[in-house]
Amino acid sequence: MVSFIKLIMQTLKVFIIFTGCTVLFYYGIMWISEEYQNYHRYDEPEGSALRVSNPVKEDSPAWLDRLKLFYLNGE
């Protein structure tokens, strides 16, 4: 009988620890999700930001040359 009670107590302890860790993990994921949901990644950059792309000019290579360049770069 004592062994049965020990088994029940061990099972209950594992269940409580598992449930506690699951709840903690869930609220941690929700907190991280809420942090990044309010993050405005498409805002205009502040400070000394540089433009990294140039507008396409009219004397640019034809579409076939651009396609070859695309495949050669492996992008």
User: Is there a domain that residue 74 lies in?
Assistant: no
The DSSP output letter for 6 is: H
Q: What pLDDT is attached to residue 59?
A: 62
Number of alpha helices (DSSP H) and beta strands (DSSP E) in the chain: 2, 0
User: Is there a domain that residue 8 lies in?
Assistant: yes
Is-contact 61 69, C-beta < 8 A?
A: yes
Rounded Cα–Cα distance for residues 10 and 17 (Å): 11
pTM (2 d.p.) = 0.49
Structural domain total, the chain: 1
User: Is there a domain that residue 28 lies in?
Assistant: yes
Residue 29: domain span: 1-38
3-state secondary structure 11-23: HHHHHHHHHHHHH
CA dist 11 to 1, 15, 23, 64, Å? 15, 6, 18, 68
For 25-49, the pLDDT digits (tens) are 999 999 999 888 877 777 777 788 7
